[in-house]
Amino acid sequence: MNKRRNKIAIVTGASRSKGIGTAICRSLANLGIDIFFTHWHAFDETEGNGGQRDWPEQLCEELERLGVRAAHMEADLTNPDMPSLMMDQVEKTLGHATILINNATYCAPSNFKSLDMRLLDQHYQVNNRGTILLSTAFARRFEQHQPQGTPGRIIFMVSKGPDPDNLAYIMTKGALIGLIEPLSVGLAPLHITVNGFDPGPTDSGWITEEMKEHFLPMFPMGRIGLPEDAARGISLLVSDDSQWITGQVIRSEGGFLGK
């Protein structure tokens, strides 16, 4: 795969050293792509898998040692103004982005007993409204600033499954899956490809030992997915070789036998 110099990627949701977002940042930086990443510690420290307050600066320095430019910001996707604020900050610090990886997500347990309007709205605001409006803001800036024929990429991290205790999360991720094909058609004239990426269960900090015992028999390759597995797949989708792949949901699950 050829390295792509002078490209700028936005990666949302890179708050933790073991997270998928961080692995994606590292993988794209190894391709020579400049990285702008976001994080939101207020969620990670209280409801997520444990944020690391000093991690963004550490990651920024690590990426710069790989020879690329890097910048970051706190980004609360429940803020309706955040898509525009984020795009402004990207352009101020690095320039005009050509790649958007929608990795940030909100996930809290919800079943038919606990699901209410507040919990549903919390998932919707981040996983749907914020993510979708960031994607359309990215596309409008791309159309305005990029020369005709410049390849662009939008990737949505998605999920699925019959888990009855994650109703809101799975539903909002399913809404993104429904968006991918029509958005890919709308952005094809701009040479922006739009794809979804489902990494399956990934050991990024949330899987307990009990969960590992449950999941492991469902992985015929004999191990649970790692953040680096997802990052390698994302690197393939942003490469020049993937220009003809659009409107797809890629299942990169190592043969996972679960639904």
Catalytic residue among 169, 197, 215, 256: 169
Please report the sign of the dihedral spanned by the C-alpha atoms of residue 185, residue 39, residue 17, residue 108.
negative
- Tell me, yes or no, whether 196 lies in a domain: yes
Catalytic residue check, 124:
no
Supply the pLDDT for residue 48: 52
Supply the pLDDT for residue 14: 94
Tokens 């020369």 locate to 147
- Which pTM value belongs to this model? 0.93
- Please state the separation of Cα 92 from the chain's center in Å: 22
Q: What share of the chain has pLDDT > 90, as a percent?
A: 79
Supply the pLDDT for residue 51: 55
What tokens were used for 119? 């919990």
Full residue range of the structural domain in which residue 151 is found: 8-251
- Tell me, yes or no, whether 164 lies in a domain: yes
Supply the pLDDT for residue 52: 65
Radius of gyration of the chain from its Cα atoms, rounded to whole angstroms:
17
Output the domain CATH number for residue 76: 3.40.50.720
When divided into structural domains, the chain yields a total of 1
| Residues of the chain with confidence (pLDDT) below 70 | 1-5, 44-52, 259
